[in-house]
Amino acid sequence: MLDLDLAALRPRLGDRALFPDLEPFAYLNHAAISPPSRLVRAALHRCIDDYAARGAGALLTWLEQRARLRGELAALIGAEFAEIGLTMGTSPGLTAVALGVPWRAGERVVLFEGEFPANVTPWLQAAALFELTPVMLPLADFEASHARGLERLEATLRAGARLVAVSAVQFQSGLRMPVAEIAALAHRYGAELAVDAIQACGVVPIDVRAEGVDYLACGAHKWLMGVEGAGFLYVARERAAALRPATASWLSHEDPVRFLFEGAGHLRYDRPIRARADQVEGSAANLLGHVALAAALAPIRELGVAAIFEHVQGYLDALEGPLQARGFVSRRAPEAAARSGILSVVPPPGVELPGLHRRLLAEGVACTTPDGHLRFAPHWPNDQAEAPRVLAAIDRALAG
């Protein structure tokens, strides 16, 4: 398979030719882990084979690829090259910011009850370390309406806060948060905004400059369709200089490797830490993870996130109404601006969710069950014509 001419395999919406070994007929679990495509698998083999042939001689080749990846990620989210640092996932990026903000004791950090722990734990740890006050707001206000959620947030910010941390898309319900409006409120009251974008990047259009985001972290293995253990961090250029490099190491310095190549006398420990997002790249990185991410990005960039988003909405539209007719309660927002790549539903009364999920997996429908929800998350390879088969599988699963 890996010997095929992969350049001839152009991605098309609704075509899973790049995933020939994928077993479920409907893989609706991209909000958890995406399967690697032929492109990703081939790129990983090329990298491994190059290292097998050349050893350390391959390093510069793949470092250049990492540099190109920064530029591609910057373009994906409307950032600049120097505002992107490569990480091992969402959590390391958020942790670097949580430890790097120059906090003052007593400052408040605004969080949301119901967020995925990756966007809560780092801030709670920072609160314990730096004597901060965490303030938890309910997501229910935003689920009722964006206006109601923003009103509660503004009332909180009037009392003072240093930073607001929010997920661009909520993992349980798929609610797409009004990031631009949250950023505007935060800045109005002197706060900064950190965004966990792992449930958004690759399926929901993001423009960090237009939306006013200060920090954004994302992992590769969901909607970006890479592999686990890779990701990136965006730090707005005007915020980077103020960050304390709490997680920096030897590769975080300016000219960090000069002493290895230019003879004696260049080993120093006083070179400044880079005042950019890539200060988080402090040691040997997950090279293979970033090779995979670069390969996975190619179809997304070619198809365009806006087109992918519309394609996914068509698929979810085909599921949502029939599921409601079967007694499921949809958590999907009625407004298009609050929708994402996720359709989460609550089963009808009397239906045991774990058993239903097991039967769906046996039927060839891959989905998941976060916190009591049945979550469907298709992506660009999913054909909308799968929907009737998915519904038929659900009927059989309900019949037990």
What pLDDT digit, counting tens, does each position of 351-382 carry? 999 999 999 999 999 999 999 999 999 999 99
pLDDT at position 291 is 97
**pLDDT tens track for 184-205:** 999 999 999 999 999 999 999 9
Query: Residue 129 and residue 178: Cα distance in Å, rounded?
Result: 30
Kindly state whether residue 20 falls inside one of the protein's structural domains: no
Kindly state whether residue 43 falls inside one of the protein's structural domains: no
Residue 95 has pLDDT above 60, yes or no: yes
Straight-line distance from the first to the last Cα atom of the chain, in angstroms, rounded to the nearest whole number: 38
pLDDT at position 8 is 55
Q: Average pLDDT for residues 79-92, to the nearest whole number?
A: 96
Query: Contact 217/196 with Cβ under 8 angstroms?
Result: yes
Kindly state whether residue 13 falls inside one of the protein's structural domains: no
Cβ contacts of 130 within 8 Å, gap of 6 or more: 103, 104, 105, 107
Same domain, 194 and 340: no
**pLDDT tens track for 255-307:** 888 888 888 888 989 899 888 888 898 888 899 999 999 999 999 999 999 99
**pLDDT tens track for 125-146:** 999 999 999 999 999 999 999 9
Same domain, 322 and 341: yes
Last residue of a domain, one of 246, 267, 300: 300
Query: Residue 293 and residue 231: Cα distance in Å, rounded?
Result: 8
Quote the percentage of the chain above a pLDDT of 70: 98
Amino acid code (one letter) for 162: R
pTM: predicted TM-score of the whole model, two decimal places = 0.94
Last residue of a domain, one of 255, 283, 300: 300
Place of tokens 């976060």: 370
Same domain, 288 and 315: no
Which of residues 378 and 252 earns the better pLDDT score? 378
Same domain, 200 and 116: yes
Same domain, 113 and 256: yes
Last residue of a domain, one of 281, 300, 319: 300
Same domain, 185 and 97: yes
Angle made by CA atoms 181, 187, 192, in degrees to the nearest 5: 100
Kindly state whether residue 171 falls inside one of the protein's structural domains: yes
Cβ contacts of 249 within 8 Å, gap of 6 or more: 282, 283
DSSP β-bridge partners for residue 165: 194
Kindly state whether residue 50 falls inside one of the protein's structural domains: no
Least confident interval from 246-255, 315-324, 331-340, 391-400: 246-255
When pLDDT is cut at 50, 70 and 90, the band that residue 2 belongs to is very low
Kindly state whether residue 21 falls inside one of the protein's structural domains: no
Same domain, 75 and 197: yes
Any idea what the CATH number is for the domain that residue 32 is in? 3.90.1150.10
Q: Which helix (H) or strand (E) holds 50?
A: helix 38-54
Quote the percentage of the chain above a pLDDT of 90: 85
Domain that holds residue 216: 57-300
Query: Residue 170 and residue 200: Cα distance in Å, rounded?
Result: 9
Kindly state whether residue 45 falls inside one of the protein's structural domains: no
Kindly state whether residue 3 falls inside one of the protein's structural domains: no
Angle made by CA atoms 384, 390, 393, in degrees to the nearest 5: 165
Same domain, 263 and 323: no
Query: How many structural domains comprise the chain?
Result: 2
Amino acid code (one letter) for 388: P
Any idea what the CATH number is for the domain that residue 190 is in? 3.40.640.10
pLDDT at position 3 is 45
Query: Contact 318/384 with Cβ under 8 angstroms?
Result: yes
Same domain, 114 and 255: yes
Q: Average pLDDT for residues 87-96, to the nearest whole number?
A: 96
Same domain, 199 and 239: yes
- Tell how strand 84-87 and strand 231-235 pair up: antiparallel
Average predicted confidence (pLDDT) for the chain:
95
Q: At what angle do helices 38-54 and 59-77 cross, to 10 degrees?
A: 150
Same domain, 286 and 341: no
Same domain, 344 and 247: no
